[in-house]
Amino acid sequence: MGGKSSRHYGLTDEKLIEYTELTYLTRTEILHLLKLFVDIDDIDIEYHRIAFGEIISRFPQLEHNPFRSRIRRVFSSKKDDCFSFEDLLDYASAMSDRCPSTVKSAWAFKLYDFDEDGQLGLDDIVHVIKALTEYRTTTESRIDVNQIAQIVLDDMDIESNSYISQSAFKHGLEKMPDFEHSFTFKI
Ligand SMILES: [Ca+2]
C-alpha cells in the first residue's frame, strides 16, 4: 500500500479514527492499548487474538478484578478465551469514565448473568455476591449468601417473576454510588 497513510503497529490512520468514533476512548488511550496489545511486528491487528491470561499479564489491573472470568467470556467476541484488539477496545471503552451509565449497566447486566439466560435470577446474584465477597477477604466469615441474594432479588424483582429485569437493574445501580467507580479500567 504505502502512500501517505501512516500506520501504528499495523493499524491504519483510518481505522484509528474509526475506533475513536466507535468507542468512548481517546486516540491516546487507543494507541496505548495497542502498544501493550501488540507483541510482535507484522501481525494482522484485525485478526490477531491473545489468550486472556496473556491479556492479564499485560494489564495487571485486571488480575484482581473479581469478575475477570466473566470479562474473559463476555468480551471475547469468539468466546474462545482470547481477545482481539477490538475486544480489548470494547472492554476498555465500557470501563471508561466517559462511558454513560446506561451503557455500563447493560454490560454489567451481561457480566452478572452468569448462566447467560438473558435474565438475572437468584443463582446469578449468589455468584455476584460470592465474587464481591472474595474480593473483600476477611470481614464476617459466615454470611449466608443465599439469604442475602434472596433479599436483593426481592427488593429488585419489580415484575414479581423471580428475576431482575434490565430496567430494574439499571435503576438499582443508580442507587449505588460506588458502581461507576468500581466499573472502571484505568489505562
Ligand atoms: Ca441468568
What's the grid cell of residue 156? 429488585
In 3D, which of 73, 91, 68 has the Cα closest to residue 185? 91
What's the grid cell of residue 6? 501512516
Distance (Å) from CA 98 to ligand 1 centroid? 28
Distance (Å) from CA 129 to ligand 1 centroid? 14
- H or E element in which residue 48 lies: none
Q: Write the pLDDT tens digit of every residue in 33-77.
A: 999 998 766 678 888 999 999 999 999 989 988 899 999 999 999
Amino acid at 104: K
Beta strand segments in the chain, E: 7-8, 11-12, 49-51, 82-84
Distance (Å) from CA 7 to ligand 1 centroid? 42
Quote the pLDDT of residue 119: 92
How many Å apart are CA 165 and CA 180, to the nearest integer?
19
Which residues face 82 on adjacent strands? 51
CATH number of 8-94: 1.10.238.10
| 101-182 shares the fold of 8-94 | yes
Quote the pLDDT of residue 9: 82
**pLDDT confidence band for 2 (50 / 70 / 90):** very low
In 3D, which of 132, 13, 36, 41 has the Cα closest to residue 83? 36
Quote the pLDDT of residue 180: 75
Distance (Å) from CA 62 to ligand 1 centroid? 23
| Entry pTM | 0.86
Quote the pLDDT of residue 132: 81
Q: Write the pLDDT tens digit of every residue in 87-114.
A: 999 999 999 999 998 999 999 999 999 9
Domain boundaries of the chain, sorted by first residue:
8-94, 101-182
Distance (Å) from CA 116 to ligand 1 centroid? 5
CATH number of 101-182: 1.10.238.10
